[in-house]
Amino acid sequence: MQPDETVTILDLTFTPLFSEQKVQARVRELGTALTDRFAGQKPLFISILSGAFVFASDLIRSFKGDCEVGFVKLSSYKGTQSTGSIQTVMGLEKEIAGRHLIVVEDIVDTGRTLHYFLNLLEQQRPASICAVTFLRKPEAAAFPVQVDFVGFDIEDKFVVGYGLDYEGWGRNLPGVYQLSAG
Ligand code: XMP
Ligand code: MG
The proportion of the chain whose per-residue pLDDT surpasses 90, expressed as a percent, equals: 72
Residue 24 lies in a domain: no
When comparing pLDDT for 7 and 111, which is higher? 7
Residue 167 lies in a domain: no
Please name the amino acid found at residue 28.
R
List, as ranges, residues with CB under 5 A of the ion ligand 2.
51, 77, 165
Contacts of 151 (CB under 8 A, 6+ apart): 23, 26, 27, 30, 55, 133, 134, 135
Task: Quote the ligand 2 centre to 41 CA distance (angstroms).
Answer: 31
Residue of 9, 12, 82 with the most ligand 1 atoms within 8 Å of its CB, for mutation: 82
The total of structural domains in the chain comes to: 1
Candidates 176, 145, 173; CA nearest to 159 is 176
For residue 128, give the CATH number of its domain: 3.40.50.2020
**Which residue's CA is the closest to the ligand 1 atom numbered 12?**
164
pLDDT greater than 60 at residue 159 = yes
Task: Quote the ligand 2 centre to 87 CA distance (angstroms).
Answer: 13
Residue 172 lies in a domain: no
Which tens digits make up the pLDDT trace of 23-48?
A: 999 999 999 999 999 999 999 999 99
Residue 100 lies in a domain: yes
- Which string of DSSP letters, residue by residue, matches 43-56? -EEEEEETTTHHHH
Structural domain boundaries, residue 101: 40-77+84-157
Average of pLDDT values for 127-133? 98
- Give the separation between CA 173 and CA 8, rounded to whole angstroms: 12
* Residue 52, Cβ density class (10 Å: 0-12 exposed, 13-18 middle, ≥19 buried): buried
The angle at the Cα of 83, spanning 132 to 27, to the nearest 5 degrees, equals 20
Residue 60 lies in a domain: yes
pLDDT confidence bin for 116, thresholds 50/70/90: confident
Residue 30 lies in a domain: no
Ligand (nearest to CA of 136): 1
Ligand 1 atom showing the smallest separation from residue 86 Cα = 3
Residue 64 lies in a domain: yes
- Give the separation between CA 133 and CA 102, rounded to whole angstroms: 10
Residues having CB closer than 6 A to ligand 1 are 51, 76-77, 82, 105-113, 158-160, 164-165
Reply yes or no on whether 109 is catalytic: yes
Residue 6 lies in a domain: no
